[in-house]
Chain A
Amino acid sequence: MKSAVLVFPGSNREVDVAQAIELVTGRKPQMVWHGDGDFEKADLIVVPGGFSYGDYLRCGAMAAQSPVMAEVKRRASQGVPVLAICNGFQIVTEAGLLPGTLMRNAHLKFVCRDVHLKVETSQSLFTNRYQAGQVIRVPVAHAEGNYFASEDMLKQLEDRGQVAFRYCAPDGTVDGSGNPNGSIRDIAGVFNETKTVMGLMPHPENAVEPMFGGCDGRALFEGLVDALS
């Protein structure tokens, strides 16, 4: 699997995700600077976490207008998979690759802690190594992760199986108790209609080693390798 990780001014988890990919694939991803409208062919494009352009204006809004994102949109339309994490999720919603938007956390504070996620489906490039209904533990670290979409859009997401992960209690109960940011319907991650683009607020890349937060995020990358190699 050849992967490309985008780097914007202010990205700061690009190294974390590059290390996770290298750990799983044995291969370093290419790091693509935001100003580069063209980059080498890749089987997977990752839009990483951070504070692109300082998160000034509105999280992800400026990055969504960058030359590299024009190219990402073009490739995504051809079916190249895109994994968008945290600030990356904000960027791709701003770029129109995923529905909905990420608002300020309901409690208005930055939150960094482990959360539990319920895997909604194993039928995707990103989640094929998980079981539907499985509970995994991965960290979040954000101030604007409060997912919102209109009722119509939510209905469409649910009907088409576009919800990837929901925040839940450690036993898998989805009742708001495990929700760290106020996201509507406890949504932590979503797919596009073709399930080739996935955005999520939590950080699977920070849960790939037993001594450093556990390994529950590792299967996401392993699943991508299975699907894309």
Chain B
Amino acid sequence: MTIPPVRLPNEPVITPQVVAEHGLSPDEYQRVLAIMGRTPTMVELGIFSAMWSEHCSYKSSKVWLKKLPTKAPWVIQGPGENAGVIDIGDGQAAIFKMESHNHPSYIEPYQGAATGVGGILRDVFTMGARPVANLNALRFGDPAHPKTRHLVSGVVAGIGGYGNCMGIPTVGGETNFHPAYNGNILVNAMTVGIAPSNRIFYAAAAGVGNPLVYVGSKTGRDGIHGATMASTEFSEDSEEKRPTVQVGDPFVEKLLLEACLELMATDAIVAIQDMGAAGLTSSSFEMAAKGGLGLIVELDKVPMRETGMNPYELMLSESQERMLIVLKPGREALARSIFEKWELDFAVIGHLTDTERMVLSWHGDIVGNIPIPPLVTEAPVYERPWTLTPLPPVLAASDVPAPAGWNASLIALMSCPDLASKAWIWHQYDHLIMGNTAIRPQDGDAALVRVPGGHKGLAMTSDCTPRYVQAHPETGGRQAVAEAWRNITAVGARPLAVTDNMNFGNPQKPEIMGQFAGAILGMADACRALDFPVVSGNVSLYNETEGKPILPTPTIGAVGVIDDIAFAVSSRITTDGLAMVLIGETTGWLGQSLYLREACGREDGAPPPVDLAVERRNGDFVRSQIANRRIVACHDLSDGGLLVALAEMCLAGGTGAEVALPAGNAVPSHAFLYGEDQARYLIACNSGEEMVQAAQAAGVPATVLGYSGGGSLTVKGLLSLTLSELRAAHEAWLPDYMNATE
């Protein structure tokens, strides 16, 4: 028998309307009643609401996420912790995760994006890692939409404002524009950190009687019910939800990072968990549930920013820059001295029990008392109905017109919003701090950062082609993983593992659930075939506004390692006379290509198929040639195909090239140059002949297209542009767009 909680003065009566306002369905509320055996108090109801929100419980996605491969000999920790952990050799581990902050960023772009970065940084350093790099994947609406400019400006400033102050370089990412994101932008932030592989910190509480410690910022009224807000569709009045967006303070987070790492260097910590979505509620429940223990939390001891706060607000606030720690007994003074040195709050707010219950006290009264295991094990899990998207008909190259003018067609593609230079964005991110950035944004397919204290490098990328996923989710999911693998390969690194950030619409619609299911099946297939397990991730559903869903966007963040960074290659061509060799087979696949969309105004056809065996064969070949120092520069072929890749390589290194279509080529020129067949790379090397021979021996198609040199890009008989013309078109679009006043 447990002590029934006290009802606080002025506590609202729990009515069906109050239940509905908490995002709980009538069925879900019946489960709450069955677990509690009585009507819950307001704070208890709030806890169920947060813990069973889509955001925290993964209730719609869980059954599908299980299909993803998560294991490999180098995986130390897969999904289920704050972040994934992989072994990168030499006693070191890479810890990483990508997470969305879509809904808050649409409502309040600066703070939404900033706290997205803050949250993912905490997820990584709470496990004992020093963050060494940030990436982000951004999807905005149509540039012509009246809100887009404001959103781009705010999101970029917010990401920069947080990461720059923290002193973590933001080294990579991607930015797309599509009208499907007009009412629901995507802000996916990724952090990669490094820790000694034998000093990883986990969330599972242990040791009955051990103190529960709160550190970091004080708790305010910001972000109450953020998790619930992030689990519903948007409507016209969404902007009234601004108070649910948290406010970030990167300065405090920097102090928290240093204080936590200092404490982690001692032996004082049993378990540690950051307070992210659903704040104190989810952190305390996760720690207790993972440890199979109970907790007594004295809520009046929580450091508060405002007066008059109540238990409900304290449990559900999403104030930023806070951590929960279980300490070993007797280490309180040591821990307190570290946090006081860094001028952060430190409070013992409770202790572990063996009751498997969460008991909340408030000035001596029990105000909440919830059994922990059923809240976790009996959380709703839905097998939502789903219908797979059928494969659209394949579009023949002959059904797509060739450009009227070749020069103009390349200029148009290089200056379209998706391909135009994003320097306006990454110049606002400190991408050089720490002094380890070897491949900077736009210089290679993956960012490359030296692992401090040695010669090893971490390659990192973020990828997804939402128009492929929309056309056929399974192919699109497979392609997103394959492209991430290819991008890691293209700098010479071994792809090791993936974090996935699944951004989709309303899962209660069978076609949306079918997109999710299809994408997962494709991703699982690719991850398995490429030995590229998923070690962490995040699901963001209900990305819809007034019934209009976003393009399904399963963003793939990936990490690879190169043993000696001196062997890595960028995509920059800096010398004349290099042979430009196309690796992989070109069929001229124009369905769902960027050329089709930008030049012909069409988004149709089947996306390019992904043959994973070919992908692996071609990639392994390229990587081995990089390791043998036979490749000088390398770029994978993706959006815009061969010609765009060549233009990007020329611009990155400031050296032109002259190429020709191969003799005997039967593919129409526009399909050859703009088609988006997968598993292809364009490389620059000293000997084209030797490269082709080596490729033949490996069973890999390879063709010498021409040579680098000069100040122009020329395709014999078709196109010739100076690099300055190309650069002007490529670099002007985004700054011009952002500086326009209307």
Interface residues of A (CB under 8 A from B): 9-10, 12-13, 15-16, 19-20, 50-51, 53-56, 109-113, 139, 141, 143, 203, 205-206, 208-209, 211-213
Interface contact B250-A141, CB-CB below 8 Å = no
Complex Cα distance A56/B435, Å? 26
> In the complex, which of the residues A13, A50, A212 contacts B436, with contact meaning CB atoms closer than 8 Å?
A212
Q: Least Cβ distance of A13 to chain B in Å?
A: 6
Quick one: closest B residue to A13, CB to CB?
B433
Quick one: closest B residue to A9, CB to CB?
B255
Interface contact B565-A211, CB-CB below 8 Å = yes
Asked if B103 is at the interface (CB within 8 A of a chain A CB), the reply is no
Q: Interface centre among A10, A13, A53, A55, by most B CB within 10 Å?
A: A10
Given contact pairs A110-B428, A208-B435, A213-B432, A9 touches B342 in the complex (Cβ within 8 A): yes
Complex Cα distance A16/B132, Å? 13
Q: Which residues of B contact A9 (CB under 8 A)?
A: 251, 254-255, 342-343
For the complex with contacts A9-B343, A112-B428, 4 further pairs of A-B residues with Cβ separation under 8 Å are A9-B342, A141-B164, A212-B450, A213-B432
Q: Which residues of B contact A50 (CB under 8 A)?
A: 167
Interface contact A141-B430, CB-CB below 8 Å = yes
Q: Which residues of B contact A212 (CB under 8 A)?
A: 435-438, 450
Complex Cα distance A139/B165, Å? 17
Report, as a range, how many residues of chain B touch the other chain.
Answer: 20 to 34
Q: Least Cβ distance of B157 to chain A in Å?
A: 7
Q: Interface centre among A12, A16, A56, by most B CB within 10 Å?
A: A12
Q: Which residues of A contact B433 (CB under 8 A)?
A: 12-13, 16, 141, 206
Quick one: closest B residue to A52, CB to CB?
B251
Quick one: closest B residue to A113, CB to CB?
B427
Quick one: closest A residue to B156, CB to CB?
A109
Asked if B166 is at the interface (CB within 8 A of a chain A CB), the reply is yes
Interface contact B254-A109, CB-CB below 8 Å = no
Complex Cα distance A206/B167, Å? 13
Q: Which residues of A contact B165 (CB under 8 A)?
A: 10, 12, 51, 54-55
Interface contact B435-A51, CB-CB below 8 Å = no
Asked if B249 is at the interface (CB within 8 A of a chain A CB), the reply is yes
Given contact pairs A53-B251, A206-B433, A12 touches B167 in the complex (Cβ within 8 A): yes
Q: Which residues of B contact A208 (CB under 8 A)?
A: 435
Q: Please provide the 7 A-B residue pairs with the shortest distance between their CB atoms, ordered closest to farther.
A: A12-B167, A54-B251, A141-B430, A51-B165, A112-B430, A16-B435, A110-B428
Interface contact B251-A111, CB-CB below 8 Å = no
Complex Cα distance A206/B432, Å? 7
Q: Which residues of B contact A12 (CB under 8 A)?
A: 165-167, 254, 433
Q: Least Cβ distance of B452 to chain A in Å?
A: 9
> In the complex, which of the residues A51, A56, A113 contacts B254, with contact meaning CB atoms closer than 8 Å?
A51
Q: Which residues of A contact B250 (CB under 8 A)?
A: 51, 54
Quick one: closest B residue to A107, CB to CB?
B739
Complex Cα distance A54/B255, Å? 10
Complex Cα distance A111/B428, Å? 5
Complex Cα distance A13/B165, Å? 10
> In the complex, which of the residues B432, B565, B566 contacts A139, with contact meaning CB atoms closer than 8 Å?
B432
Complex Cα distance A113/B343, Å? 33
Q: Least Cβ distance of A120 to chain B in Å?
A: 24
Q: Which residues of B contact A54 (CB under 8 A)?
A: 165, 249-252
Which chain B residues (394-448) contact chain A, with CB distance < 8 Å? 426-438
Interface contact A110-B430, CB-CB below 8 Å = yes
Interface contact B255-A112, CB-CB below 8 Å = no
Q: Least Cβ distance of A212 to chain B in Å?
A: 6
Return 19 A-B CB contacts under 8 Å, by A number: A9-B254, A9-B342, A9-B343, A12-B167, A15-B434, A16-B435, A50-B167, A51-B165, A51-B250, A51-B251, A54-B250, A55-B251, A109-B427, A110-B160, A110-B430, A111-B427, A141-B433, A211-B565, A213-B432
Q: Which residues of A contact B450 (CB under 8 A)?
A: 212
Quick one: closest A residue to B254, CB to CB?
A10
Q: Which residues of A contact B429 (CB under 8 A)?
A: 110, 112
Q: Which residues of B contact A15 (CB under 8 A)?
A: 434
Given contact pairs A109-B157, A212-B438, A203 touches B167 in the complex (Cβ within 8 A): no
Interface contact A209-B430, CB-CB below 8 Å = no
Q: Least Cβ distance of B492 to chain A in Å?
A: 13
Quick one: closest A residue to B344, CB to CB?
A9
Complex Cα distance A143/B162, Å? 13
Q: Which residues of B contact A10 (CB under 8 A)?
A: 165, 251, 254-255
Complex Cα distance A56/B255, Å? 14
Interface contact A211-B566, CB-CB below 8 Å = yes
Given contact pairs A10-B165, A112-B429, A212-B450, A19 touches B435 in the complex (Cβ within 8 A): yes
Q: Which residues of A contact B426 (CB under 8 A)?
A: 112
Q: Which residues of B contact A203 (CB under 8 A)?
A: 432
